[in-house]
Chains A and B, each alone.
Chain A
Amino acid sequence: MKDQIDAIQTEALARIGAVADARSLEEARVAILGKQGSLPQLSAGMREVPKEQKAEVGQLLNGARQAITAALEEKKDALQAAADARALEGIDPTLPARALHHGSLHPLTLIRHQAISILRRMGFALAEGPEIETEFHCFDALNTPADHPARNEKDTFYFDSGKLLRTHTSTVQIRTMETGKPPVRIIAPGSAYRRDEIDATHLSVFNQLEGLYVDADVSLGDLKGTLEYFLHELFGADTEVRFRPHFFPFTEPSFEIDVKLHAKGQQPKWIEVAGCGMVDPAVFEAVNDSRGDLAYDPARVTGFAFGMGLDRLAMIRWGIKDIRLLIENDTRFLRQFA
């Protein structure tokens, strides 16, 4: 009996040792430890073992079972480890990534959002108005006389209805004041139209951001502080900003704002980025006439307004040399903003 146990154990361990795959290992387990396996079969012979030897043989049998079970476990782990290793064999992590489509927001959206975010932190709310406008909202109410150079079919798109495509987002100033009372603190991003041939620096449809703040005691200091802060946030805290006196019909005094641009490999230069000024009393008067009240009495409220070209800001920000890149939607260009 002892010899048989020894023999079975030896044979079993040899068989397990020789096994090369999980299936053979399972077959071996069944052949050795299964119901009809060699070890249980031998165990059946315990009945015939003399009583005084039972304990010893039993121990031997247990020992053999333990040894075989351990060998099976060990082999199973070894096979699993080998399989795991095989599964990773030949994987080349340096192969190119699988392609996913990367989308992008348009540079104009990016710059507009940045500008809006800064101004919203300063408490400006968004406003809007129609793009197909009346002469009143585009010109008359903005103190632009009937014979002003901009008011003709050569510079402005008109419709047979007599309406026109707004030439600036300043129309939203009027729209907002017509429907709401002071204080007004709004920004209005939107399209504007001018009858310009499209070339490297002009679009007939372009994008502006308008701003208006009207309240009691709005001063030039507010205008200056607000726009300095805005431009420092947009272009960097140490960006130089200058206000040049200028003329717009709907603000007085009026200024154009330049920032000093430091482009790589170029002399720093002043670049115009915005127009601004204190709301002309004539604009308030036109709004009052339209409202039929004195909500915007020039003796009691003052305000400042500003406007900037977003396409231009995008060009400055990213060094875009041809404005047409902003409307051609070449994905080789757009992809760079992903």
Chain B
Amino acid sequence: MNVSLNWLATHVDLEGRSPDELDQLLTFAGVEVEGIEVKGVPSDKIVVAQIKEAVPHPNADKLKVTQVDAGEGALRQIVCGAKNYQVGDKVPCCLPGTDLGGFVIGETKMRGVESKGMLAAASEIGLTDAEDGLMILPADAEVGRPLRGMFDTDVLLEVEVTPNRPDLLSHYGMAREMATLLEQPLAQLDIPERSESVSTGVRIEAADACPYYTAVRIRDVEVKDSPAWLRQRLEAIGLRPINNIVDITNFVLHELGQPLHAFDAAKVSGGIVVREAGEGEVFAALDEESYPLEPGDCVISDESGAALALGGVMGGIDSGVTAETREVLLESAYFTPSRIRRTSRRTALMSDSSYRFERGVDPAGVDRASALAVKLILELAGGTAEAATMVAGAAPVVTGEVELDLARLDQLSGGCVAHDEAAALLERLGLESTGGGKWRVPSFRADLQRHIDLVEEIIRVKGLDAVESRLRGTFVPSSEVDHRYDADLRLRERLAGLGFHECQTIKLIADGELADALPLKPLRDGDAIRVSLPLSEDHAVMRPSMSPGLVASAARNLRQGATALRLFEMGRVFRNAGGGKARDLEGETLGILLGGEIQPAGWDRAARAADLHDLKAVVAALVPTCRLQFSPRERDGFALGCDVLAEGQNIGVFAMLSPARARALDATTPLFLVELDLAKLRKLAAVSRDIAELPQFPGSSRDAAMEAPAELANAAIEKVLAKLNEPLLVGYECFDVFRDPSGDKLAADRKSVAYRMHYRAADRTLKSKQVDAAHQGVLDKLSADLGVSFR
């Protein structure tokens, strides 16, 4: 909301208060000041100058070289491009050094001709343009005089009022607050009391939406432009003057906070009926749009049933005041906040009126605003008002008595507010003590309903500075979430140490990105959770896995020329447990993406592209004490899909992005993904198992070179070895795999796999024969189970 300081000053004395001081005052009263704009001539160096001569610029067709008298004795030469003046005119002249909001006028050369200052248009010096070009000043303006003293200045505050304080949404309301805070008197409003009322002419059929409705008939008005003072008031806060009647309703809204509406009485047939909208009713608003209405919307109509206005929100296109209007029906009413909010939100129609009604206007302000508007209309548009105001319903009571519990005030505030001071503060705020600790709340403060609301007011006005800071806290034990957080941080740090960058991606993804998803369990139809009304199709579905975000991040980095892709993200993933019909599940996973160069090129070696074994190594580094297995299981849209098992337990899924998808991303190397179940990973990564004693006796190793069919998976060998009941075998590793596609050294459909087996006994040094015997047993078992031969 825009607040004009000149306007405020009609209600409260702000003499000598700087804009910064008022900013501070409002800020600490809970009103956010978002901007301060000083209106009016910005500098004392802008003076009245008379143009004595203007000759064409030798080097520019559109410029003239002028000699002006700025009251300095000598003439001043200024190059100027305007056309609207004549020699002899008096115009504003910005002398060198004039600061026009950061732009400082200097002495310069324009197209080779000296120019010592600037002749200005009104809009260039904080005033309103009356014509294109230079501002032509009155002929009697005194040459050399600063313009600042000749024109009003104003300060415009752009404030954000919190939704609980609709009483501040007007200049009078804001002035009332400032008077309270500054302990200054508030000027009395000069508004006549309403004399008579009749209950005819208006009828309420929707009392829930509009409990109180008034209208005044004013005949023989003359619709014309508003006088300068009124136009200035509106223009000062950024409103466009329209005509005297409309301007008065706008003025009263911003003066008192009560929205009004003026109907052209000629467009109203019979009396006014406040009713609910009918099924299928369409309203043509004055913004020239049509809005379908629903029962629940409140319509102002006439006896014929025609909708004149959408109550409290906007007038109709046909019922408003125009230049031809001779008779006016002036509406002032109270609309129920929740009803206005619902209609305004549903129709997406917002107005200064709906903004105030949906926050709640002062019920006592309805009559007062009407009276002020009638008074102004009679003054500015002539005519006669009907003596009796047409009234239906009654102003609702929205405030009552509230008890202030002083013991609880003391507890909350640490006793920083003396009880008599608290009482004085409430009185300044317009509350009245009714005895027994009870306070009557004025009608404009419907936000004060409970004890705590009064405490809030006292602390707000007193200021939190008065409250003494206290540092103490009850001990509480750490939680499961603490332990998970710590475990996750260790994983994050380990991955960063392994050279991976942690990512953060948006948890809402596009439908199309689901194809990149590698969830722990494949998605079935309906498992992906979709928001009802996405902001865009790019952010429509809750991510079921980390991989779509990681793939998108990889694509972005590839476009930027990244040669190594080492990314991970940890966090929540979402899916429905059963095709959209069961519970929505929130799990936590770790996603890792690896691609590009695993070993960057250096001055002594070539680059090497990452392969799947590199990512396996990373997974192994996260659970270094676990036996890790990758067990192939196809995944739609991916290559080399595998379940990831640690200690035989399924902890996640691995895959390579399909070559086609990688090509689409312009990746020149394969991209590998792994998605791990964080709940399982945390447990496995923790060092919690019993620590093994170090061996006391030396061991020996034996190599086994197996020749096997090329398609025999290493996992098959490991499986046999894992199941062996050979107590002396304490470890093994594969150290060579050889194939010869040419078939020269080995048949092309065969491979040679070399393992090193480690043997050791815990209680003695093994003799060579014992090792040989154990090794032979291992070879026999491999040979028997897998049909491999040994070389």
Contacts and interface: CB of A to CB of B under 8 A. Distances in A.
Interface in A237-285: 243-247, 252-256, 278, 280-281
Given A101-B564, A281-B452, A205 B476 contact: no
B535 A185 contact: no
B756 interface: no
A297 to B, nearest CB: 13
B533 A126 contact: no
Contacts of A158: 531-533
B342 interface: yes
A128 interface: yes
B474 A185 contact: yes
Contacts of A35: none
Given A126-B482, A252-B456, A255-B464, A244 B471 contact: no
A149 to B, nearest CB: 7
Given A116-B485, A132-B574, A220-B459, A103 B535 contact: no
B529 to A, nearest CB: 7
A84 interface: no
A329 B460 contact: no
A201 interface: no
B414 A204 contact: no
A186 B30 CA distance: 27
A296 to B, nearest CB: 15
Contacts of B475: 123
Interface residues of B, number: 86
B28 A159 contact: no
Contact of B481 (A127, A252, A335): A127
B450 interface: yes
B492 interface: yes
Contacts of A226: 471, 473
A109 B569 CA distance: 11
Interface string B588-615: 0000000000011011100000000000
Given A160-B532, A247-B164, A224 B600 contact: no
A255 B498 CA distance: 43
Contacts of B469: 221, 224-225, 228
Interface in A293-320: 302
B557 interface: yes
B338 interface: yes
Nearest to A101: B499
Interface stretch (A45-53, A56-64, A92-100): A92-100
A217 B501 CA distance: 45
B567 interface: yes
Contacts of B503: 106, 329, 334
A205 B498 contact: no
B493 A105 contact: yes
B505 interface: yes
Interface in B498-519: 498-508
A204 B505 contact: no
Contacts of A124: 473, 476
B108 to A, nearest CB: 27
B557 A159 contact: no
A151 to B, nearest CB: 9
A104 B497 CA distance: 8
A252 B467 contact: no
B471 A225 contact: yes
B313 to A, nearest CB: 15
Contacts of B481: 125-128
A197 interface: yes
Given A191-B507, A245-B30, A163 B474 contact: no
A87 B495 CA distance: 37
A246 B30 contact: yes
B496 interface: yes
B740 interface: no
B455 interface: yes
Contacts of B566: 101, 103
A154 B471 CA distance: 41
Contacts of A103: 495-502, 566
A209 interface: no
Interface string B449-461: 0101101100110
Interface string B55-75: 000000000000000000000
Interface in B549-605: 553, 556-557, 560, 562, 564, 566-567, 571-572, 574, 584, 586, 599-600, 602-604
A229 to B, nearest CB: 6
Contacts of A191: 507, 571-572
A205 B506 CA distance: 6
Contacts of A331: 501, 557, 560, 562, 567
A334 B459 contact: no
A213 interface: yes
B502 A334 contact: yes
B557 A104 contact: no
16 contacts: A105-B496, A123-B475, A125-B482, A130-B586, A132-B529, A183-B476, A191-B571, A224-B469, A244-B28, A245-B28, A247-B162, A253-B459, A329-B503, A329-B504, A330-B557, A331-B560
Interface of B: 27-30, 32, 162-165, 337-338, 341-342, 345, 411-414, 450, 452-453, 455-456, 459-460, 464, 467-479, 481-482, 485, 489, 492-493, 495-508, 529-535, 539, 542, 553, 556-557, 560, 562, 564, 566-567, 571-572, 574, 584, 586, 599-600, 602-604
Interface of A: 95-96, 98-106, 108-109, 113, 116, 120, 122-128, 130-132, 145-147, 149, 152-154, 157-161, 163, 165, 183-186, 191, 193, 195-198, 203-205, 213, 215, 217, 219-222, 224-226, 228-229, 243-247, 252-256, 278, 280-281, 302, 326-332, 334-335, 338
Given A152-B345, A195-B533, A252-B455, 8 more contacts: A125-B476, A125-B479, A147-B337, A153-B533, A220-B413, A222-B472, A255-B464, A281-B450
For the complex of A and B, 6 pairs with smallest distance between CB atoms: A101-B499, A245-B30, A247-B162, A225-B469, A221-B470, A103-B496
